[in-house]
Amino acid sequence: MNITQGWLSAASRLESPNTDQRPDSADISLLVIHNISLPPDQFGGPYIGQLFSNCLDGSEHPYFADICQLKVSSHLLIDRNGEITQFVPFGQRAWHAGVSEFEGRSNCNDFSIGIEMEGSDNIAYTDIQYAVLAKVTALLLAHFPAITSERIVGHSDIAPGRKTDPGPAFDWPRYRKELV
């Protein structure tokens, strides 16, 4: 697994239009872990990719009607089977963090990489997801030295009160142990 021109070699590529230039492409210094499931608490299917590609049909599920107009993306998605999809190259800004702040600095999208775990706050993640996340994280830490273990956070850490992911089901000690 390697990174070439901002793309992860082990990932399927599904480019999102929901991206733009970072203010400083050399300033990648934060990794944000998220979760997503569409519909909520259901796994599999094309819906996450459709959301990040602005192709989600609001009539396919009642929940989709409320979110199909959103313009969001992430750099990576790790699904329940450990498959990786990349939506935005790492040098570009993905639209994953929203209103956010880390160590007094707002607009975390400007300086972060976002990884979505297919999951939900209260459903355990899979063993393969942790293994793949650890491998991807190790590669990102080597490629972007300003990202340190202290600069790996959950969405809830940078948007407290607004976001809860990756949620109580995400085993931070296990993840951090697998990084060593």
CA separation for the pair 30, 27 (Å, rounded): 9
pLDDT digits (tens, 9 = 90+) for 124-177: 999 999 999 999 999 999 999 999 999 999 999 999 999 999 999 999 999 999
Edge-to-edge strands of the sheet including 152-154? 12-13, 84-86, 76-78, 112-118, 30-36, 152-154
Structural domains of the chain sorted by starting position, each given as residue range(s) with its CATH number in brackets: 3-179 (3.40.80.10)
Is the pLDDT reported for residue 51 higher than 80?
A: yes
Catalytic residue (one of 116, 118, 150, 178)? 116
| Contact predicate 177/134, CB 8 Å | no
| Contact predicate 89/8, CB 8 Å | no
pLDDT digits (tens, 9 = 90+) for 89-103: 999 999 999 999 999
Q: Is 178 a catalytic residue?
A: no
Give the pLDDT score at 180. Answer: 77
